C-alpha cells in the first residue's frame, strides 16, 4: 500500500512538473480577429503571461511583458519596462478585418491610441544631455533614470493605424514582428517604445598625458542617438577662479548657440580639475553644422550604416585607439 501511495505521489509530481514546463496555455479564440482582440485586452487588463503566448520567442516585447509580470528580465531596465506596461490601461484599440489574407496569414486594420513614449523619450534624452553637459552629474549617463522619468511623463498621443499579421499555428495564434507593418503595429500599441526596448549606454574611457576622456553613447540597437564627451584636465586651483570659470562657461554656451541638438559646458571638479563637456542629440543635430563648427571631423563615415552612427563600429574605432568600452545592459 505504501509503495502504491508513493507511486501516486511521484506520478502527481511528474504531472505538475510537466504542467509547469508547458507554461500558460493560450485562451481559445474562434478566429485570428478574436485572437488579436484577446491579445490587446490582455495588455490592457495586465494579463502579461497570457499576452506573451501570442509572441514569438525572439520578439523583444516579451522582455517588457516578463518584467511587467514581476519577473527579472533586463535588470537595468525592468523598472522602465514596468512603467511602460502601467500605461497600457490607457490603450484604446479597435480591430476590423482587412481584405488582404492568405492561406496562412491574416491581416487586420487596427486603429489605436496610447501614450506617446517616443516623443517623451526624445525630449527626456535632450534634457538629460543638456543638463549633464552644462552642469555635470549623471543625468544622461544614468540611462534607466532619464528613461523612466520620460516614460512616466508621457502624454496621450494621436490616433494611429496599423496592419499586423496574425498567424495560426498548432499552439494557437501568433502576432508577427518581422515585417514593417508588424513593427508599426508594435510601435502603435507601445507608443513608439518598441524601438527603445533594446536601448543601451556605452561608456568608453581613456587617460592620455594626464588628461582623462570619457564618452557616453546611448544607442537604440546599433544606432547611436545620443553622445556626450567629458574631458578632465588638472589646473592650478588659483587659475580656476569663479570669474575665469564663468567666462569659460559663457564661451562654451556661445560656441554651441544656434546649433540645434548640440550642448556644451564646463564645471570645476574637486577644486583643481576642469571638466569640459560636449553633447550631441543625433535626433535633432545637423551633421553639416557640427562639421563646420569643428565638433566632429566628418571622417566618421566608416562608422555609419544606413545614415546613422553605428555603435559597434564606433566602439571598434575607440578600442583601436586604446579606449576601454563597457556597454550595459546585456540583453537576453
Of the candidate ranges 58-67, 95-104, 320-329, the one whose mean pLDDT is the lowest: 95-104
pTM for the full predicted model: 0.86
CB 274 within 8 A of CB 233: yes
Confidence of residue 104 (pLDDT cuts 50, 70, 90): low
What average pLDDT does the segment 82-102 reach?
Answer: 84
CB 143 within 8 A of CB 71: no
pLDDT of residue 179: 85
Is the predicted pLDDT of residue 18 greater than 80, yes or no? no
What average pLDDT does the segment 291-297 reach?
Answer: 57
What average pLDDT does the segment 201-228 reach?
Answer: 95
Rounded Cα–Cα distance for residues 76 and 200 (Å): 10
Rounded Cα–Cα distance for residues 176 and 36 (Å): 11
CATH fold label, 31-114+157-193: Nuclear Transport Factor 2; Chain: A, (3.10.450)
pLDDT of residue 249: 87
pLDDT of residue 98: 65
Is the predicted pLDDT of residue 79 greater than 90, yes or no? yes
Domain ranges of the chain: 31-114+157-193, 200-328
pLDDT of residue 15: 35
pLDDT of residue 4: 38
CA dihedral 103, 104, 106, 107 (to 10 degrees): -110
Per residue in 27-44, pLDDT (tens digit) is 898 888 899 999 999 999
> Nearest 5°: phi and psi at 222?
-100, 0
Rounded Cα–Cα distance for residues 192 and 189 (Å): 8
CB 24 within 8 A of CB 39: no
pLDDT of residue 221: 94
Of the candidate ranges 39-53, 59-73, 243-257, the one whose mean pLDDT is the lowest: 243-257
User: With helix as H, strand as E and coil as C, how does 219-264 read?
Assistant: EECCEEEEEEEEEEEECCHHHCCHHHHHHHHHHHHHHHCCCCCEEE
DSSP-derived letter for residue 71 is S
Per residue in 134-192, pLDDT (tens digit) is 999 999 999 999 999 999 999 999 999 998 988 888 889 999 888 888 999 999 999 99
pLDDT of residue 22: 52
CATH fold label, 200-328: YehR-like fold (3.30.1830)
pLDDT of residue 97: 77
pLDDT of residue 251: 87
Q: Pick from 273, 276, 267, 275: which is nearest to 235 by CA?
A: 273
Q: Write out the three cell numbers for 290.
A: 557640427
Q: Write out the three cell numbers for 21.
A: 514546463
Q: Tell me: cis bond preceding 294? Omega within 30 of 0 counts.
A: no
Confidence of residue 47 (pLDDT cuts 50, 70, 90): very high
Per residue in 241-284, pLDDT (tens digit) is 889 888 888 888 888 888 889 999 989 988 888 899 999 999 99
- DSSP assignments along 12-65, one per residue: HHHHHHHHHHH-PPPPP-SSHHHHHHHHHHHHHHT-HHHHHTTB-TT-THHHHH
pLDDT of residue 297: 53
Q: Are strands 211-220 and 273-281 parallel, antiparallel or unpaired?
A: unpaired
Rounded Cα–Cα distance for residues 291 and 259 (Å): 11
- DSSP assignments along 129-193, one per residue: HHHHHHH-SSTTT-HHHHHHHHHHHPPB---EEE--EEEEETTEEEE--SSHHHHHHHHHHTTTG
Amino acid at each position: 500500500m505504501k509503495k502504491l501511495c508513493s507511486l501516486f505521489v511521484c506520478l502527481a509530481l511528474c504531472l505538475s512538473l510537466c504542467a509547469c514546463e508547458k507554461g500558460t496555455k493560450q485562451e481559445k479564440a474562434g478566429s485570428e480577429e478574436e485572437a488579436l482582440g484577446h491579445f490587446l485586452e490582455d495588455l490592457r487588463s495586465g494579463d502579461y503571461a497570457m499576452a506573451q503566448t501570442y509572441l514569438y520567442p525572439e520578439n523583444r516585447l516579451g522582455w517588457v511583458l516578463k518584467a511587467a509580470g514581476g519577473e527579472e528580465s533586463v535588470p537595468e531596465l525592468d523598472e522602465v519596462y514596468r512603467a511602460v506596461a502601467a500605461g497600457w490601461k490607457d490603450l484604446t484599440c479597435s480591430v476590423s478585418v482587412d481584405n488582404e489574407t492568405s492561406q496562412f496569414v491574416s491581416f487586420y486594420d487596427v486603429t489605436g491610441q496610447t501614450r506617446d513614449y517616443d516623443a517623451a523619450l526624445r525630449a527626456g534624452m535632450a534634457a538629460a544631455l543638456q543638463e549633464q553637459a552644462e552642469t555635470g552629474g549623471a543625468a544622461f549617463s544614468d540611462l534607466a533614470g532619464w528613461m523612466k522619468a520620460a516614460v512616466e511623463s508621457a502624454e496621450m498621443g494621436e490616433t494611429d493605424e496599423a496592419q499586423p499579421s496574425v498567424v495560426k499555428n498548432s499552439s494557437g495564434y501568433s502576432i508577427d514582428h518581422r515585417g514593417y507593418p508588424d513593427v508599426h503595429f508594435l510601435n502603435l500599441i507601445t507608443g513608439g517604445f518598441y524601438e527603445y526596448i533594446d536601448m543601451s549606454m556605452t561608456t568608453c574611457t581613456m587617460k592620455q598625458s594626464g588628461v582623462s576622456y570619457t564618452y557616453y553613447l546611448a544607442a537604440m540597437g546599433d544606432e547611436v542617438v545620443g553622445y556626450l564627451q567629458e574631458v578632465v584636465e588638472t589646473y592650478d586651483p588659483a587659475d580656476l577662479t569663479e570669474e575665469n570659470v564663468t567666462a569659460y562657461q559663457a564661451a562654451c554656451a556661445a560656441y554651441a548657440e544656434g546649433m540645434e541638438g548640440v550642448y556644451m559646458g564646463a564645471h570645476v571638479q574637486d577644486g583643481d580639475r576642469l571638466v569640459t563637456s560636449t553633447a550631441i542629440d543625433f535626433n535633432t543635430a545637423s551633421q553639416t553644422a557640427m562639421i563646420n563648427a569643428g565638433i566632429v571631423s566628418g571622417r566618421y563615415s566608416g562608422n555609419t550604416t544606413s545614415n546613422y552612427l553605428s555603435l559597434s563600429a564606433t566602439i571598434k574605432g575607440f578600442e583601436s585607439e586604446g579606449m576601454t568600452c563597457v556597454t550595459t545592459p546585456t540583453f537576453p
